[in-house]
Amino acid sequence: MADDGQSLSLAVLIDADNTRSLYAKAIFEEIVKLGEASVRRIYGDFSSGRLTGWNGAVESLAILQHQQRSNTTGKNAADIALVIDAMDLMHKGKLDGFCLVSSDSDFTRLAQRLREDGLQVYGFGERKTPETFRNACHRFIYVENLVESVPEREASGSDASPQIKESPGNAVDIIANALEGTDDDGWVNLGPVGSRIVAATPDFDPRTYGCPNLSTLVENCGGFEIRRDTNNRILIRRKVAQKASRGKKTNT
């Protein structure tokens, strides 16, 4: 288990049936920010030819391929194999967390069970991922946010996910709900705000709104004032709070 200052030891378990290989490299680059991918496994029926796109990623990213033949159409044999391995790894007690890579809500209970055991759970999937699975994770990261654009050969596919960014203004209420512990003037340190937002909304990501980080999103969304204190920390407050404060002073 990780001590203070050490990277989290993570197991990366990939549902190949519900994850496109074009996101593979970007997913592992994102995982580096979270910890060390000590275990790397992928599950699916690689004998059918449908998952051949994963061959290059499996080799270049040192992913252990778990072949799970689909003997009966419609049965989720690979999902079951993934869950069994996750439980085995959990009970060994050598990991700090899991990265579950799938857009399938069937892994909701797995995410809940891992969290119950005190492990960090990071989900990776497309925007179509059901809310139940997203909210079962500590953080859920949309794979569309990890790539600048889908390669043309992939974008022509019927299942390609459009690279659509939301307006920064749509994040105002989400950010405002996390503004706790303000001082007398309504200012709050931006540092803890991000953690509060993710705790309430696991799939929150400034990149969803076309911004590289939270501070840029706050600047672009138009709902907040921003300043830096003597320690160069970023402080923010709602613009409406300032207007209300001025109104009270005028009436006295």
How does DSSP classify residue 1?
Answer: -
> Mind giving me the DSSP string for 113-153?
HHHHTT-EEEEEE-TTS-HHHHHHSSEEEEGGGGSSS--HH
CA distance 183 to 125: 38
- Judged against a pLDDT cut of 90, whether residue 236 lies above it is answered with yes
pLDDT 10s digits, 186-229:
889 998 999 999 999 999 999 999 999 999 999 999 989 999 98
pLDDT, residue 4, reads 59
- Judged against a pLDDT cut of 60, whether residue 157 lies above it is answered with no
Cα–Cα separations (whole angstroms), residue 53 to 58, 64, 148, 194, 224: 9, 15, 20, 36, 45
Q: What is the mean pLDDT of residues 131-157?
A: 79
- Judged against a pLDDT cut of 80, whether residue 247 lies above it is answered with no
181 confidence band (pLDDT: 50, 70, 90):
low
Residue 178's contacts (CB-CB under 8 Å, 6 or more residues apart) are 193, 194, 196, 197, 200
CA distance 113 to 115: 5
